[in-house]
């Protein structure tokens, strides 16, 4: 009597764990999809340039997640990362377009 009850319990726990895992995977994929489609100024030249140049190694970060001051620093850091990885450097025009794009869409302090 006790043994079958235990088995039931184990089966329930396993079922709940895989359901939870499925829910987590769905949530993470949903967030990732959301992250990608939620870039501001979707479809404009600055948004496309940003996604193309800053979305090669990781998904492009949503500009709203950092302040303008943080973006100024991050642009500098990433140009170093790009150089170290042997990527084509940003042209002055690309740098200006991307920096303007992320700072005008930046989050507020
Ligand atoms: C050559 C690959 C590469 C390219 C191209 C690249 N990044 Fe990154 N980026 C990384 C790596 C690797 C990390 C994580 C490690 C780190 O912080 O250095 C990162 C991290 C970041 C982060 C998160 C920093 C944090 O503190 O959480 C931001 C924001 C970011 N990149 C923005 C950009 C922007 C903006 C551009 C375009 C100008 C860009 N990245 C282009 C490789 C790249």
- Same domain membership, residue 26 and residue 45: no
Q: pLDDT tens per residue, the chain (109 residues)?
A: 555 555 555 555 556 666 555 655 555 555 555 455 589 999 999 999 999 999 999 999 999 999 999 999 999 999 999 999 999 999 999 999 999 999 999 998 7
Q: What is the pLDDT of residue 109?
A: 79
Q: Which domain CATH number covers 101?
A: 1.10.760
Nearest to 71 by CA among 36, 95, 106: 106
- Same domain membership, residue 12 and residue 65: no
Q: What is the pLDDT of residue 38?
A: 81
Q: How far is the CA of 24 from the centre of ligand 1 (A)?
A: 25
Q: What is the pLDDT of residue 64?
A: 97
* Domain hosting residue 4, numbered range: 1-37
Strands (E), the chain: none
- Same domain membership, residue 45 and residue 16: no
- Same domain membership, residue 82 and residue 58: yes
Q: How far is the CA of 78 from the centre of ligand 1 (A)?
A: 5
Q: How many CA atoms lie within 13 A of 14 on its CB side?
A: 6
- Same domain membership, residue 66 and residue 33: no
Nearest to 72 by CA among 101, 49, 35: 101
Residues framing ligand 1 (Cβ under 6 A): 53-54, 56-58, 61, 74-75, 78, 81-82, 85, 87, 98
The number of domains in the chain is 2
- Same domain membership, residue 75 and residue 31: no
- Same domain membership, residue 72 and residue 22: no
- Same domain membership, residue 71 and residue 105: yes
Q: How far is the CA of 58 from the centre of ligand 1 (A)?
A: 7
- Same domain membership, residue 100 and residue 47: yes
**Using a CB cutoff of 8 Å and minimum separation of 24, what contacts does 13-22 make?**
none
């Amino acid at each position: 009597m006790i043994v079958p009850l235990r088995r039931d319990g184990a089966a329930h726990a396993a079922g709940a764990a895989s359901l939870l895992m499925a829910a987590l995977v769905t949530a993470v994929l949903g967030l990732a999809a959301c992250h990608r489609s939620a870039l501001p100024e979707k479809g404009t030249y600055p948004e496309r340039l940003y996604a193309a140049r800053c979305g090669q190694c990781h998904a492009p970060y949503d500009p709203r997640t950092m302040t303008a001051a943080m973006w100024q620093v991050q642009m500098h850091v990433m140009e170093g990362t790009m150089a170290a990885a042997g990527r084509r450097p940003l042209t002055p025009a690309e740098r200006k377009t991307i920096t303007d794009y992320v700072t005008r869409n930046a989050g507020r302090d």
